[in-house]
Amino acid sequence: PANVERNTDGVLAVSGLPVTDIARDFGTAAYVLDEDDFRSRARAFRDDFTAPFDAVAGADVYYAGKAFLCSAVARWVMDEGLNLDTCSGGELAVAQRVGFPGERIALHGNNKSVAELRQALSYGVGRIVVDSFAEIDRVAEVAAELGVVAPVMVRVTVGVEAHTHEFIATAHEDQKFGFSLAGGQARAAIDAIVAKGDRLRLLGLHSHIGSQIFDVSGFEIAARRLVALHTEVADVHGIAMPEMDLGGGYGIAYTSEHSPLTPGELGTQMAALVDRELKELRDGHPDAPLPRISIEPGRAIAGPSAFTLYEIGTVKDVEVAHDAIRSYVSVDGGMSDNVRTALYGADYSCTLAGRTSTAGPRLVRVVGRHCESGDIVVMDEYLPADIVPGDLIAVPGTGAYCRSLSNQYNHTPRPPVIAVRDGVARVIVRRETIDDLLALDVDEPAPLQEVR
Footprint of ligand LLP on this chain (CB under 6 A)? 64, 66-67, 85, 108, 168, 208, 211-212, 247-250, 296-300, 340, 344, 400-401, 405
Q: At its nearest, how many Å lie between ligand LLP and the CB of residue 337? A: 13
Q: Is 144 within 8 Å of 193 (Cβ atoms)?
A: no
Q: Is 51 helix (H, G, I), strand (E, B) or coil?
A: helix
Pick the catalytic residue from 70, 87, 350, 371: 371
Of 95 and 383, which CB lies nearer to ligand LLP in the complex structure?
95
Radius of gyration of the chain (CA): 24
Say if residue 248 carries a ligand binding annotation. Answer: no
361 is in an annotated binding site: no
Classified as helix, coil or strand, 169 is strand
Q: Which is nearer to ligand LLP, 180 or 212 (CB)?
A: 212
Shortest distance, position 338 Cβ to ligand LLP, whole Å: 9
Distance CA 301, CA 322 (A): 45
Pairing state of beta strands 127-130 and 105-107? parallel
Least distance to ligand LLP, CB of residue 370, Å: 18
H helices within 147-216, ranges in order?
185-195
| 23 vs 105 by CB, closer to ligand LLP | 105
Q: Which is nearer to ligand LLP, 108 or 362 (CB)?
A: 108
Residue 330 beta carbon to ligand LLP: minimum distance, rounded to whole angstroms: 23
* 220 labeled part of a ligand binding site: no
Which backbone phi and psi does 240 adopt, to 5 degrees? -95, 100
In the complex, what is the shortest distance from the CB of residue 297 to ligand LLP, in angstroms, rounded to a whole number?
4
105-107 and 83-86 strand pairing? parallel
Q: Is 298 annotated as a binding residue?
A: yes
Q: Around Cβ 371, how many Cβ atoms within 10 Å?
A: 9
- 299 has binding-site annotation: yes
Q: Is 41 annotated as a binding residue?
A: no
Whether 372 has a binding-site annotation, put simply, is: yes
The closest of 220, 397, 434, 412 to 303, measured between CA atoms, is 397
Closest to ligand LLP by CB, 31 vs 401, is 401
| CA atoms of 326 and 365, how far apart (whole Å) | 7
Angle separating helix axes 35-44 and 263-277, nearest 10 degrees: 30
What string of H, E and C letters represents the secondary structure of 65-94?
CCCCCCHHHHHHHHHCCCEEEECCHHHHHH
Cis check: omega of the bond before 13, within 30 degrees of 0? no
CA distances from 280 to 25, 152, 224, 295, 392 (A): 59, 24, 9, 21, 56
Percent of the chain as helix, strand, coil, to the nearest 5: 35, 25, 40
Nearer Cβ to ligand LLP, position 117 or 364? 117
Name the amino acid, one letter, at 426. R
Q: Which is nearer to ligand LLP, 340 or 421 (CB)?
A: 340
DSSP string of 290-351?
Answer: PPEEEE--SHHHHGGGEEEEEEEEEEEEEEEETTEEEEEEEES--TTT--HHHHH------E
| Least distance in angstroms from the C-beta of 343 to ligand LLP | 7
DSSP state of 98: T
Identity of the residue, 153 or 329, whose beta carbon is nearer to ligand LLP in the bound complex:
153
3-state SS, residue 210: strand
Q: Is 19 helix (H, G, I), strand (E, B) or coil?
A: helix
Min dist. Cβ of residue 56 to ligand LLP (A): 21
**Nearest distance, CB of residue 299 and ligand LLP, angstroms:** 4
Look up 371 and say whether it is catalytic: yes
Any idea which residues carry the catalytic annotation?
Answer: 371
Annotated binding site: 249, 296-299, 340, 344, 372, 401
Annotated binding site for pyridoxal 5'-phosphate: 249, 296-299, 401
Annotated binding site for substrate: 299, 340, 344, 372, 401
